Structure 1
Amino acid sequence: MEAPKNLERLYIDPARKGGRPRSRRYLKWVLWGGLLVALVAGYRAMPYLIPVEAETTSLTRVDPETTTNTVVLNVTGYVAPHRRLELAPKVIARVIAVYADKGDRVTSGQIIVRLEEREYQANLDRANAAVERAQARLDELRNGSRKEEVEEARSNTQLAELQRDDARRTVGRLRPLVTARVENQQALDTAITLEGVAEARLAATRRRLDLLVAGPRPESIRAAEADLAEAQALEESARIQVEDCVIRAPISGTVLERIAEVGELVTNQNFGGRGARGALLSMADLNDMQVEVDLNQVDLSRVKLGQVCRINLEAYPEDNYDGRVVQVAPEANRQKATVQVKVQVNEPDEKMRPEMNARVSFLEPVSAREGVKAAARVFAPVSAIVERNGSPTVVVVKDGRAQLVAVKRGLETPNGVEITQGLTGEETIILKPGDGIRDGIAVRAKGIAK
């Protein structure tokens, strides 16, 4: 009865056969997959765990004097663009195409006028040929004499030596014959002359051989180099003239006036009166507008740089525009007894156009104890502002992390670019943030730039 029990212990259940090795294989693949996921997650999280060194700086905060709504002075003036450009040609040519009309918006670098360039292209082709000729001459001097030229000169020298020796022998034969009165003196004189000619020819061929062996003089090479440099300068000048026949917009702005028409001759010189035109068109950036006023000298003490103003257009008296004084003329107009003052419009719109009448109200500055404090002006370095998602962005360092903040740019001043929206002035920002600086990554300040 004991034998069957022992046999039962040796029985292997088919359901359990091979189960343990299969579970170990599955466990191995799970461990490798988990390790791979951990490595990828660690790599992606590395910028958020390991700080990136970055040069930082503090913002420039200017706390202006506060203002009230008290108007100290009202003056009427005219709207004018901050910079009005009148495009003039750099060459004398005929207009063959004008691609912009009055009121059109153009972008910087856009082609707006094309001039006839055939004459200038011909000058460029001639200059190119002169450069090639000068380059070939310089290469000839630098390479020196050819082997065939040297061999030819050496052969000519040997021939001249043979002719000289033959002339000497002839003179030697004639001398005793003349002494013995067998030959006349004229024959001897002719032989002596031929000997001298042979000597001169031999000297000339030897000098020719020496020059070919020695090669060109350094002065000749320097002269050829100077000729090449002159030809290249003329070529560059001709190329510039061809390029000047294509007029591009120097800035992005609006065409204010179209002066030249197709077929007219334009020039870079002002002859006065009728004739060739000296300008093509005028343009300005209408997003950068000012109001120019002539201030009586007696009122000058109530106006100063940076003073806040309120601007109203006569065409739209219900619309208010904020501005500030940006320039007071260094000299007065003696005939009018006035001083010109320019007021920068903070946010001009499409309603505001050049030469419009505008009324400027200068507001009274008061101390912080007497009025409500105005918002501070914040300035950031140009290198700290980058384009992210199509808008100006500044990278702020907060609690050791990078934070991308969209801002609104103002005018560029000696203090930097004015930030009109997005920053308070208390932040620390990153200079020259690269594409690797992302929102939320860890940042270690390399040092605050002054």
Structure 2
Amino acid sequence: MTEDKTKLLRSLAIDRSSPNPAPPSSANRWKLPIVVAAVIVVAALAAVFAFRIGSPNRAEQVAVQSPPPAPRQDAQPQAVAPKEPGTLAASGYVVARRRATIAAEITGKVVEVLVEEGMTVAAGQVTARLDSVLAEKDLALAQSRAEAAQAAVAAVSADLDDAHRILSRIRSLSQNKFATEADLTKSEARVAVLTAQMRQAQSQWETAKLDAQRTASVLDKHQIRAPFAGVVVDRSAQPGEMISPMSVGGFTRTGICTVVDMDSIEIEVDVNEAFIGRVVAGGPVTAVLDAYPDWQIPASVIAIVPTANREKATVKVRIRLLQKDPRILPDMAVKVTFLRDAKPQDGQKDSAKADPSRSAVRTD
């Protein structure tokens, strides 16, 4: 190909050796542009052919010299760095160990509710009253029967005392032969009869008194009292509604209000059973409420419930709050952190031994 180019260039060279060159003819005038165009086409084809032959080698060199592409950052999420050994976190809720829905032991109509949500009640305080008109009349009737039985006992007692005096006189007369054997037998029989009537009257009096006491207890049940001191968190019934100790359908309610003992508040969390060995009974804990994320509450482990949840593969842990505060409310969400190198605190080792639920936990 190079020789062909050389021949073409030589053919296009002007011969200056002749003194008077002849003027080109019309045929030679058109031959020169055609030859030039042919040379350009041949040169272009040669360049294209040379580029195609050398392009694979250049691509290989670029591939060898270029650094490997960096992996995409979002291809796979980076693994979260594990927490320091000995530190364990869990979440749960604030619960109250003493929580009760106050209900009536009898069926009746509510005439008055004496509590509201947020009110503090004392143990035995009346929270509601039921309609007690019939119960009051039953109590009055029972007391009247008891009084009648008591009067019958007094009458029989008087007759018995008189019979005893008559029997004593007849026995004295009989010894002196002034009374017959029949009079003595008759007096003794009357004393025996009155003695039996006295026992019967006393039994009836006792029965009447028990009936009166029972009726008084039923009347007292029309006043619904708080079983322990606490705070009312829910009021269910309203005056005019029917209430019953059991659900009978319709519009009958089964409770008046719900009372929570705030002194019995604690935390319950579920710990993965794979890490339960790092929880120590009596160990220190830090609790943080979701409602107050900047407030760290000191706490300690009360006990580890000796049973596991098969579905969630967790074990329930009870935690005591060392700081009581009115901001801590039942059913609040909380996150706890079991501190590293946790050891039972002073005064809790003996309680841990006394609690059988704690002996089932392996401590570090």
**Fold equivalence (TM over 0.5):** yes
Partner SS state of residue 340, structure 2: strand
Please give the alpha-carbon distance, in whole angstroms, between the structure 1 residues aligned to 2:206 and 2:284: 58
1:341-374 CA-to-partner distances (Å, cap 9, x unmatched) read 211112231221111110011123457xxxxxx9
Partner SS state of residue 216, structure 1: helix
Unaligned runs of 5+ in 2: 1-83, 167-181, 349-353, 356-364
* Structure 2 residue corresponding to 1:288, chosen from 253, 264, 270: 264
State whether residues 144 and 216 of structure 1, in contact with CA within 8 Å, keep that contact through their aligned partners in structure 2.
no
Greater RCO (CA < 8 Å, at least 6 residues apart): 1
Please give the alpha-carbon distance, in whole angstroms, between the structure 1 residues aligned to 2:133 and 2:154: 32
Residues 48-447 of structure 1: matches in 2 within 5 Å?
72-144=87-159, 210=187, 213-214=190-191, 216-271=193-248, 273-365=249-341, 376-377=346-347
1:372-407 CA-to-partner distances (Å, cap 9, x unmatched) read xx97449xxxxxxxxxxxxxxxxxxxxxxxxxxxxx
Please give the alpha-carbon distance, in whole angstroms, between the structure 1 residues aligned to 2:285 and 2:299: 5
> How many residues get paired?
253
Say if 1:274 and 1:296 are closer, same or farther in 2 by CA, change over 3 A: farther
Please, what TM-score do these two structures have when normalized by structure 1?
Answer: 0.50
Unaligned runs of 5+ in 1: 1-68, 152-204, 368-373, 379-413, 416-450
Structure 1 stretches (4+) deviating beyond 6 angstroms? 205-208
Structure 1 residue 228, shift from structure 2 partner: 1.9
Structure 1 residue 255, shift from structure 2 partner: 0.6
Partner SS state of residue 339, structure 2: strand
Point out the structure with the larger helix share. 2
- Matching residue of 2:38: none
Say if 1:206 and 1:324 are closer, same or farther in 2 by CA, change over 3 A: same
Say if 1:362 and 1:125 are closer, same or farther in 2 by CA, change over 3 A: same
Point out the structure with the larger strand share. 1
Say if 1:250 and 1:221 are closer, same or farther in 2 by CA, change over 3 A: same
* RMSD over aligned Cα atoms: 3.3
Structure 1 residue 243, shift from structure 2 partner: 1.6
Structure 1 residue 318, shift from structure 2 partner: 0.4
Say if 1:109 and 1:214 are closer, same or farther in 2 by CA, change over 3 A: closer
Q: Which has the larger radius of gyration?
A: 2
Please give the alpha-carbon distance, in whole angstroms, between the structure 1 residues aligned to 2:149 and 2:135: 21
Please give the alpha-carbon distance, in whole angstroms, between the structure 1 residues aligned to 2:254 and 2:277: 42
Structure 1 residue 211, shift from structure 2 partner: 6.9
State whether residues 99 and 113 of structure 1, in contact with CA within 8 Å, keep that contact through their aligned partners in structure 2.
yes
Query: Aligned partner of 2:285: which letter?
Result: C
Query: Aligned partner of 1:73: which letter?
Result: L
Query: Aligned partner of 2:104: which letter?
Result: P
Please give the alpha-carbon distance, in whole angstroms, between the structure 1 residues aligned to 2:309 and 2:250: 32
Partner SS state of residue 332, structure 1: strand
Please give the alpha-carbon distance, in whole angstroms, between the structure 1 residues aligned to 2:232 and 2:289: 22
Please, what TM-score do these two structures have when normalized by structure 2?
Answer: 0.61
